[in-house]
Structure formats: C-alpha cells, structure tokens
Structure 1
Amino acid sequence: MAQRSIFITGGGSGIGRATALHFAAKGWFVGIGDISESGMAETLSLISGNAKWSGKLDVRDRARWDEALAEFAAAAGGRIDVLVNNAGIGTGGSLSELDPDEIDRCLDINLKGVLYGAQAAYPYLKASAPGAALVNIASAAGIAGSSGMSVYCATKFGVRAVTESLDAEWAEDRITVASVCPSFIETPLLNGTGNRKSNEAIRERVKAAGLEITPVEHVAQAIWDAVHGTKLDYFVGETSKRMAFAKRWMPGRVRKQLRNSLRPLGQ
C-alpha cells in the first residue's frame, strides 16, 4: 500500500508543527507550507527520515497554491490524501479601532486562504478518495460571536460554513470534510496583541478571564480523529466544548453572557 501523505499550512509552528509531528510518527509523508522558512526548517528537523517536504506558501496567493501542491505531490509519490487548512492569524479589538488593512489581512488569510486551499487540493483529494480528507481549522470563535473579535469571528464562522458546504458538495466524491474548533491553545498566537493599537497581550487576557490553555498536541489528535472519523465538527478544549453545548441548548443565555462581557472567547 502506498504511503499516505498530508499537506499542512502554517506548518512552521503551533498547531501545524504539532500536526506534522503527529502524522509523521504514524508513518505518513508530511508536507508543510508556511511563509516562515526558518520555522519550516525547524519543524522538519524534528522529523526523522526523508518522508517530509516543505515549500514557502502564502495562502493568499492562489497561483502558488497550485505550484506548491504539485511540488508536494511529486515528492510524495504522486498523491495527496489530506489537506489541513491551518494557517491563520489573530485579530482583535473593537471594530472601530481596526485599520482597513488589518481587516483585509485577516479575511484574506483566515478565510480566502481556506477557500483557495480547498479548491487547489480538490483534484488530488478526489483522486485519492475514499480515505481522503479536508480538515479546516476553525475556532471556538466560530461558535459564538464575542465582543472585540468581530473580524476574527467572521472568518472562523466562515470556515465552518465552508466546511459544511463542502461536506455536502464533495459527498459524492467520498472526500471526508471536517472542521476542528479549538479554544485557547498553547501556540505563538497567544504571545501577540489583538491589533496594532493594543498593548494588551492575548495571553494575559485569557488568564484574566480564567480560561484554560489547552496543549497543542490535543489539536493534533483531533485532526487525526477528523481524518479517520465521520463527524463534521471536532471541539477541542473545555471552553470550545462548553460553548458548543450552550450555543445549541441555551442560546439565550449565551447571548446574555456575551453581551455582558468585554472578554473575548476564541482560539
């Protein structure tokens, strides 16, 4: 049986790196794309053997998507079994505080990048189905819209919508489609600030709100489960699980809580 292959965006750190290591340990051929060449080099240095590949990829560049996937497929023996749309950035703060280019950048990377990736990967996934999968990384911010996170929430709600649509669209092709919705995960995103006008670190806001920070390896396991499972959404971390439950069964209570809180909930 041919070695299975997975391509992961944002593979130079965080969730992407943890996922690459997880699948490599299971014997998969791993490919990563990222804008950080040093980050990708560090990720690959942690994987033994030669079943690995990296290529610089800005997910906003549709033409580069085609090039990168063709290069990876050639290195992986002509096939791509799984695409993980993981690359993303965090943007927070009042909508009135955000500069237009901050809004555009978040929409382009977090949402358009997912659409471009799915479109570019489709012929490869169709060819390797059944057993092929598209996994999109959403967020708890895609479950409920939180104060100070309008743009980020818009992208993550959008990622879940794309996932649900493609689950129906690609069903006949027998391609598994799923979203993974983490809450706050131990990744470099927590070390930033919401926007360029804010000096408040995201990590400190999470701690002040009393929310948990989940190990990144838990997300990698959820991605593995999504590739091999049948569910549409996989919730990772207690915040994400609680929010999904409450939004379904107690939507009025969730709305009241969010309207009375200035603390954001999300990845």
Structure 2
Amino acid sequence: MTAKAIFITGAGSGIGQATARYFAQRGWFVGLADINAASLDDTASSLQLGQFSRHVMDVRDRDQWALALRDFHSASGGRFDALFNNAGIGTGGQFADMPAEEADRLIAINFNGVVNGVIMALPYLRASKGVILNTGSASGFYGTAGLALYSATKFAVRGLTEALNVEFAKYDVHVCSLMPGFIDTPLLDQVTGDSNETASEKLRSSGMEISPVSSVAEAAWKAVHSNKVYTPVGKLAKRLNLLSRFFPSLLVRKSKQMDAASNAL
C-alpha cells in the first residue's frame, strides 16, 4: 500500500521543517513547499530519496499552487491525505509604524496563502477524505498589542478553520488548526533593537515561555490524527485558550504582558 502523504508549506525551516521530518520518520511521503529553494534543500537533505517531493512556490500564487499540488500528487503515487497550511511571516511592531506594503504582504501570506491552499487542495482532499491543518497562533485567542495585524491574520485563520470544519463535514474532510505560543525557531535567533540580545533572550527576560519546535511537530501529528478543531501548543497558548473561554478580564492583563514582550523586540 502506498504511504500516506502530506503537503507542507513553509517546509524549509522552523515548524514546517520539523513537521516534515516528524511525518517522514513515521513513514509518510512528504511534499516540501517553500519560497526559498536553499532552505528546501536543507530540509530534503535529512530525508530519504523517494520519501519526498520538492516544490519551490509562493503561497500567494494560485497557479504555482496548482502546479505544485499536481506534481506532488503524482510523486506520491496518487496519495494526498493531509495539507499543512503552515507558511507565514511574523512581522510585528506597532501598527502605526508598519509600512502599508508590509501590511499587505503579511495579510497576503498569512491569510490569503491559507485560503489559496484550501481552494486548490480541496478537490484532492475530498477524494481522499483527508485533513486540512492550518498554523494559527496563541495570538489568535485575543488581539495582541504590538502584533496587531499578525494577530488579526491568525484570528482569521482560526475563524476560517472553525467554519470550514463544519462546512466540509459533508465531504468527510476534517479542518483543524495549531495554536502555538512563542516557538524556538530561527526567527527568534535574530538580534533586535539597539542591544546585542536576540529576540528569544528578550522574550525570556520578559518572562515569556518559548516552546521547542519539536513540540509543534508532535502536535501537528496528533492534530492530523484526531477530531479536535484546534490544538494549543505550549503553556502560554493553553493558558490563553482557557482565559479566552472563562476569564476574559484576566486575558486583558495577559495581553498587556505580551505587549510588553513584543515591544521589547
């Protein structure tokens, strides 16, 4: 029997790379998609030949989606069991300081890219009764000052996920989302501001938890194999999930702490 297959965007680094390796180690065929060809080579170098396909693509371009998914479906032997809509960027800072062009880019990648993935992959996943997994964020539980537009895109991903999980039930397609907090990816290794501290160092000094990227890959595996609509990853995300449902006033206080941490970046 042909191995199950998952197509992962943003597979060149961070969460996408860790998840690709995690699924491959468990016998899945993995479609590696990223806009950065060199980073795709890095991910592919840790996988066995015949266990993956490689696709340089921009999630904002539906024609590139169509080509990549067609080639992936062929390379996987006709299998397409899961789509991991993971590609995204983490632009932060005060809303008033963000250039309009960067705002457009953030929305186009973080939300429109997810919509494009759903549109283009749905015919394959209806045929396989598969799973759509989207990368959300703990910032999708409550609007995060200092990350306002990023937070808004993750709210949008969360809303889309919840709605489509209901709509697509008639197709036996499960739609779910990961909701991680701060994750230990190369993005947090960057030096920020006028100091020589990295983003991760500043977050830790602000008292914010940073979860290992392996925890997100493990959560992605569990999400694809469960009926949950969204999965918080890390203590921060689990706290925000709880507060958003039962203690909204306390969530405002937690949001101010996150604002202070994001401003430190």
Query: Normalising to structure 1: TM-score of the pair?
Result: 0.93
**Structure 1 match to 2:110:** 110
1:154 maps to 2:183: no
**Structure 2 match to 1:96:** 96
* CA offset digits 1:82-139 (Å, max 9, x no partner): 000000001111111000011011100000000000110000101111xx10000001
Query: What SS does the corresponding residue of 2:211 show, helix, strand or coil?
Result: coil
Alignment of 1:35-184 (within 5 A): 35-129=35-129, 132-184=130-182
- How far, CA to CA, are the matches of 1:66 and 1:203 in structure 2? 37
- How far, CA to CA, are the matches of 2:52 and 2:253 in structure 1? 48
How far did 1:169 drift? 1.1
With over 3 angstroms needed to count, the CA separation of the structure-2 counterparts of 1:6 and 1:199, relative to structure 1, is farther
- How far, CA to CA, are the matches of 1:192 and 1:61 in structure 2? 28
Q: 1:230 aligns with which of 222, 227, 230?
A: 227
**Structure 2 match to 1:245:** 242
How far did 1:80 drift? 1.0
Contact 1:137 1:180 in 2 (8 A): yes
Query: What SS does the corresponding residue of 1:203 show, helix, strand or coil?
Result: helix
How far did 1:247 drift? 1.5
* CA offset digits 1:124-160 (Å, max 9, x no partner): 101111xx10000001011111111110000101110
Contact 2:208 2:261 in 1 (8 A): no
Query: What SS does the corresponding residue of 1:111 show, helix, strand or coil?
Result: helix
Contact 2:184 2:200 in 1 (8 A): no
How far did 1:204 drift? 3.5
- How far, CA to CA, are the matches of 1:79 and 1:111 in structure 2? 26
1:208 maps to 2:205: yes
Q: Percent identity?
A: 42
- How far, CA to CA, are the matches of 2:36 and 2:68 in structure 1? 15
Query: What SS does the corresponding residue of 1:30 show, helix, strand or coil?
Result: strand
Letter in 1 for 2:141: I
Query: What SS does the corresponding residue of 1:153 show, helix, strand or coil?
Result: helix
* CA offset digits 1:171-224 (Å, max 9, x no partner): 011111100011111112213478xxx657532431222112111111111111
Contact 1:59 1:117 in 2 (8 A): yes
Query: What SS does the corresponding residue of 2:183 show, helix, strand or coil?
Result: coil
Unpaired segments of 5 or more residues in structure 2?
none
**Structure 2 match to 1:10:** 10
Contact 1:91 1:152 in 2 (8 A): yes
Letter in 1 for 2:221: W
Query: What SS does the corresponding residue of 1:121 show, helix, strand or coil?
Result: helix
How many residues matched?
260
Q: Is the deviation greater in 160-169 or in 208-217?
A: 208-217
Letter in 2 for 1:235: P
Letter in 2 for 1:208: S
With over 3 angstroms needed to count, the CA separation of the structure-2 counterparts of 1:63 and 1:264, relative to structure 1, is farther
- How far, CA to CA, are the matches of 2:246 and 2:162 in structure 1? 20
Letter in 1 for 2:179: C
Contact 1:103 1:151 in 2 (8 A): yes
Query: Normalising to structure 2: TM-score of the pair?
Result: 0.93
Structure 1's consecutive aligned runs of 4 or more residues displaced over 4 angstroms after TM superposition are 198-201
